[in-house]
A and B are shown apart, each in its own frame.
Chain A
Amino acid sequence: QVQLVESGGGVVQPGRSLRLSCAASGLTFSSYGMHWVRQAPGKGLEWVALISYDGSKKFYADSVRGRFTISRDNSKNTLYLQMNSLRAEDTAVYYCAKDRGFGVVVAATLFDYWGQGTLVTVSS
């Protein structure tokens, strides 16, 4: 049974940094692309970033490119999102999501498992 458990959320001041983690179990983690998707309060889903199965390819939404970094440690079955220069508009529940494929072709993205999310609040 695939499980994705996010952690690391909390309240942070604008301009500061935060690192999210997503612990995966019940799957061969190193075989799949992984994503971060967020949902601001009262808003819809927004794709944030994708990392390929081996970490060699990374893709970002325009809204976070240059500020956020996605990474993974396949030896620990863990996905990360390093968020720097945080803004109020980054306030959201952040979900990690598993891709059905290797995550090397962005166009082929399909999410088949999701975590329950972790809340990030950017406020002074």
Chain B
Amino acid sequence: QSALTQPASVSGSPGQSITISCTGTSSDVGSYNLVSWYQHHPGKAPKLMIYEGNKRPSGVSNRFSGSKSGNTASLTISGLQAEDEADYYCFSYADTSTLLFGGGTKLTVL
């Protein structure tokens, strides 16, 4: 199983919206509504931002939202803030009891 495919980097200005894509296959993202997204500030523990495609854990801002179309899941962050600058990873269940992370996307807030 290969890692899910994410863009290496995205950027946006404060107040703007950005979307990070996560492309898998029909054996993972396409077959299950089980994509989650983690925010990772270097040197800190990753934080769960979205689970089961579009659900937010308690305490996560509603500026974060998730969606899916076919084999591609997406994370959208609206109203960008400086504190959103971090690495973002998608994560999905795949066939044969495998778990896959995306390669990670570095978000830069300009």
A113 to B46, CA, bound (A): 8
Residues in B neighbouring A47, C-beta threshold 8 A: 91, 99-101
The answer to whether A62 and B45 touch across the interface, beta carbons within 8 angstroms, is no
Bound complex: CA A37 to CA B91 (Å): 12
* Stretch touching chain A among B12-20, B31-39, B74-82: B31-39
CA distance A37 to B3 in the complex (A): 14
Complex partner residue of B45 from A43, A46, A106, A113, CB under 8 angstroms: A113
Task: A119 to B40: give the CA distance in the assembly, Å.
Answer: 17
Is the contact region of chain B dominated by helix, strand, or loop, or is it mixed?
strand
On whether A44 and B104 interact (CB within 8 A), knowing A109-B99, A116-B45, the answer reads yes
Residue of B with least CB distance to A48: B99
**Does A45 interact with chain B (Cβ within 8 Å)?**
yes
Asked whether A27 is an interface residue with its Cβ less than 8 Å from the other chain, the reply is no
User: Which chain B residues lie closer than 8 Å to A44 at the CB level?
Assistant: 3, 87, 89, 101-104
Q: How far is the CB of B76 from chain A (nearest CB, A)?
A: 20
Report the number of A-B residue pairs with Cβ-Cβ less than 8 Å.
54
- Number of residues in B with C-beta < 8 Å to the partner? 24
Distance of A43 from chain B, by nearest CB (Å): 8
Q: Is B51 in the interface zone, CB < 8 Å from A?
A: yes
Question: B34 contacts A45, CB within 8 Å?
Answer: no
Q: Are A114 and B46 in contact (CB under 8 A)?
A: yes
Q: Which of B38-96 contact A (CB under 8 A)?
A: 38, 40, 45-46, 48, 51, 57, 87, 89, 91, 93
Residues of B contacting A115 with CB < 8 Å? 45
Ranked 5 nearest A-B pairs via Cβ: A114-B45, A44-B104, A47-B99, A107-B93, A45-B101
